Amino acid sequence: MTTADRCLIALSFAALVPLYVQLWGRDTQPQEARVTVDGQEVLRVSLFENHRYDVKGPAGVTVVEVADGRVRCVSSPGPRHLCERAGWLSASGDSAVNLPNRVSIEVLGRDRRFDSVSY
Amino acid sequence: MRGGDVNGIRQAAGARELELPVSAEDRLVARYAALAIAIHLIEATLPSPLPGIKPGLANVVVQLVLARHGWRAAAWVAVLRVLVSSLLLGTFLSPTFLLSAAGAASALLVLAPAHACGRFGPVGLSLLAAQAHMAAQFTLAYTLLIPHAALLALLPVLMTAAVVTGLAGGIISEAVQRTATGPGR
Amino acid sequence: MRLRKPLHGLLAMLLACLLAACEKPDPLQTTRILAMGTVIDITTWGVSPRDARAAFEDLQTLFQRWHQEWHAWLDSPLSRANQAFAEGREATLTPDLLTMLEHARAAAHASEGLFNPAIGRLIELWGFHADERPDGPPPSQAAIMELLRKQPSVDDIIVDGDRVRSTNPAVALDFGGLKGYAVDRAIDYLRAHGIQNAIVNAGGNLRAIGSKGGQPWRIGIRNPRGPGVLASIELSGDESVATSGDYERFFEWHGVRYHHILDPRSGFPSIGTTAVTVLAPTAELADIAGKPLMIAGPAKWLELAHRLGITQALRVDESGRVEITPALSARLKWEIEPAPPVEVTAAP
């Protein structure tokens, strides 16, 4: 074994540490989404089971779609369709809300980049 | 190997109808490649703890050729190993084959300068090759085959496996190179 | 092949570690309440899931009660007072509403009328009192002018104990700091119940207390143009952040965008500023300060911030350029690439 070999072995193992820290120490990937109506959880779904859900609220039905690790609001009652405009949600903490129907869709995850957002 | 590219393959596959001149190096490469392919096939039958992880002992043969006969010969053995193994296993041009080919190509690319600089022994070279192999496979898998972030969580495990198998392969290579004589001698 | 066994062991060990990490209850507990016409997110740290859930349920009840008590348009003590103002009668306000009235009066004086909580009728005319205003024509210039001519002001309101009346029938209260006030009250509630590390965020107006086990809270400031976050800031101890922006509530008509922050001088949406973010000791002050700072525009906003006691603020203009006070600049981190053009400016 040459000196260069020894250095390389040490370097190879050392390089694994940041790799674990980076990919395991932080949150890996959001797994679940939570849908609430008026603050009550009505649905908790895996982001990897593609499906459409009809969520009933006081103003009608909000259609929630899960596909390929993402979730979105397909249609919802109300004049402005802000929920649909939020588009696909995939990162921890992403969310969309339909106020008229009291429906909120959130992507859950341990590691949110921000604890809260001022908007 | 000049002009013997096609011969090499045919010879290895056992084609005899065409009598083309076969150099000593061709025979050498063919024998090593046959050994690597045999090991590859045995490994393929073993269950793997995780897709993408296997001992990679076929690479010990490549390391041996690299040490004894240089990079060109080692490259031939590696290419033949990937190609012929895939044909025998029926995975030719499948994703498995692409991953295998990308890994082997990347390992060869890294080995060329590492071998040329002369500072690394079998252990270092094996380690570099294993990591290059895994990095290329992963990149290909992540970008083309399964572009899903969940795969990233596997990367640390896969790279650890690469380091461990690369190191083990290197130690075996070193032991083999110290003691045994190759099939070509 | 002897290699495979140790590899199995290693993998099993790593997977076990991963699973163990997943089984610990998350010290962060979050909930979302839809109340007061907005989204309220509450986060606690170091509180057991059960205790957190109990606190969240109480807060849900509280926010709904506040929504009913403080609503300027549905039947509430506040809307009854507004009705009484229009008819020249006396009305009774709750202690909370009286406190908000006093704070609003002080801010109206400090901002020389740029913050005007008495223009409820103007907000109603524009339709911004509804949760979601549909696209449609803006009110006529004549209707706006007629309201402005009546010069509704908080100084028209006479307070006698808990009794209030207005000398000007055009006065209708619509407190700008309502959400912020609710956030402060929610924080009071959490503290009284032994929760010392939390964030309450009502419609982007938030207050953070304590920390995440010694780590500061990380707060994003929304990018007013485009998705995601413009900048981030770390909060610990007890601080509030509020952002006012032209993107929060708006409607479009014939290609023109009308947002909800109305300039009491013109009666039209304010111009020249896209968003203002303010740090303050209380969520109510941060919430109150945002709107007049947006209305004040490039020439006057720093001076007004100074008068309101705000030392940490930033303003984004219509071209995306950022003006920021030195105190905020020192602790802010840009989260967009490339960072926007920034000018650090102190109050004159």
Is residue B158 in a domain?
yes
Q: What does the alpha-carbon distance between residue C7 and residue B130 come to, in Å, rounded to a whole number?
A: 15
CATH of the domain at B117: 1.10.1760.20
Q: What CATH number should be reported for the domain holding residue C334?
A: 3.10.520.10
Query: Is B150 among the domain residues?
Result: yes
**Domain around C231:** 216-348
Domain boundary among C132, C166, C200: C166
What's the pLDDT score for residue C1? 31
Closest partner residue to C201 among A36, A38, A116, by Cβ? A116
Count up the domains in chain C and report the number: 2
CA distance C9 to C17: 12
Provide the pLDDT for residue B1: 43
> What percentage of residues in chain C have a pLDDT greater than 70?
92
CATH number assigned to the domain comprising residue C95: 1.10.3980.10
ipTM: 0.86
A2 CA: distance to closest CA in chain C (Å): 23
Residue in chain A nearest C199 by alpha carbon: A116
Looking at the structure, tell me whether residues C225 and C292 fall in a common domain. yes
**For residues C251 and C272, what is the distance between their CA atoms, to the nearest angstrom?**
18
For residue B185, being part of any structural domain is answered with no
Distance CA A45, CA A51 (A): 9
For all residues of chain A together, what is the average pLDDT? 87
Is the pLDDT at C10 greater than 70, yes or no? no
Question: Is residue C282 within 8 Å of C200, Cβ to Cβ?
Answer: no
pLDDT bracket for residue A25 (50, 70, 90): low
Share of chain B above pLDDT 70, in %: 83
pTM to 2 decimals? 0.66
List strands edge to edge, sheet with A70-75. Answer: A51-57, A60-67, A70-75
Identity of the residue in C37, C38, C219 whose CB atom sits nearest the CB atom of A118: C219
For residue A37, what is the nearest residue in chain C, using CA coordinates? C34
Q: Same domain for C220 and C348?
A: yes
C286 falls within a domain: yes
Instruction: Flag whether pLDDT at C122 surpasses 50.
Output: yes
Q: Is B184 a domain residue?
A: no
- Predicted pLDDT of residue B3: 43
Which chain C positions have a beta carbon within 8 Å of A84's beta carbon? none
Q: Averaged over B152-161, what is the pLDDT?
A: 88
Tell if the CB–CB gap between C134 and A114 is shorter than 8 Å: no
Q: CB of B4 within 8 Å of any CB in chain A? A: no
Range of weakest confidence among A68-72, A91-95, B148-152, B160-164: B148-152
Question: Contact C131/A97, CB-based, under 8 Å?
Answer: no
Find the closest chain B residue to C18 by CA distance.
B153
CATH number for the domain whose boundaries are A32-108: 2.60.320.10
Q: What is the pLDDT of residue A109?
A: 77
Q: Considering the domain boundaries, does residue C185 fall inside one?
A: no
Q: Is C156 labelled a binding residue? A: no
User: Phi and psi (nearest 5°) for C196?
Assistant: -105, -10
pLDDT computed for residue B4 by the predictor: 44
Best probe of the A interface among C34, C257, C259, by most A CBs < 10 A, is C34
Do C230 and C316 touch, CB atoms closer than 8 A? yes
What is the mean predicted confidence (pLDDT) over C183-209? 97
Q: What is the tally of structural domains in chain B?
A: 1
Mark whether C224 and C159 lie in a shared domain.
no
Residue numbers in B near C14 (CB within 8 A)? 157, 160
Q: Is C131 annotated as a binding residue?
A: no
| Contacting subunits of A (3+ beta carbon pairs below 8 A) | B, C
Distance CA(C51)–CA(C58), nearest Å, equals 11
Residue B153 to residue A23, Cβ atoms within 8 A: yes
Chains A, B: CB contacts under 8 A, how many? 62
Q: Which of C29, C34, C30, C64 is nearest to C48 (CA)?
A: C29
> CB-based burial of residue C341 (10 Å sphere; 0-12 exposed, 13-18 middle, 19+ buried)?
exposed
CA distance C201 to C303: 28
- Structural domain includes residue C2: no
Q: Looking at the domain assignment, is residue C38 inside a domain?
A: no
What local confidence, expressed as pLDDT, does residue A28 receive? 55
The chains in contact with chain B, meaning 3 or more Cβ pairs closer than 8 Å, are: A, C
What is the pLDDT at residue C5? Answer: 39
The C-alpha atoms of residue C17 and residue A20 are separated, in whole angstroms, by 12
Residue C80's pLDDT band (cuts 50, 70, 90)? very high
Q: Does B127 touch chain A (CB under 8 A)?
A: yes
Res. C131: pLDDT tops 80 = no
Q: Looking at per-residue confidence, does C130 or A53 come out higher?
A: A53
Chain C hits for A115, Cβ within 8 Å:
28, 43, 199, 208, 212, 217-219
C294 within a domain of the structure (yes/no)? yes
pLDDT digits (tens, 9 = 90+) for B92-151: 888 889 988 999 999 999 999 999 988 899 999 999 999 999 999 999 988 887 766 667
- Give B49 to chain C, closest Cα distance, Å: 7
Query: How confident is residue B185, by pLDDT bands cut at 50, 70 and 90?
Result: very low
B54 band by pLDDT with thresholds 50, 70 and 90: confident
Q: What is the pLDDT of residue A39?
A: 79
pLDDT value at residue C17: 46
What pLDDT does residue C237 have? 93
Rounded mean pLDDT, C269-276: 95
Q: What pLDDT digit, counting tens, does each position of C226-258 carry?
A: 778 899 999 989 999 999 999 888 898 999 999
In this prediction, residue C25 has a pLDDT band, given cuts at 50, 70 and 90, of low
Domain closes at, from C133, C166, C199: C166
Domain enclosing residue B54, as ranges: 5-179
Please give the pLDDT value at position B45.
Answer: 83
How do the domains of chain A map onto residue ranges?
1-28, 32-108
The confidence score (pLDDT) of residue C138 equals 95
Note whether C224 and C152 are same-domain residues: no
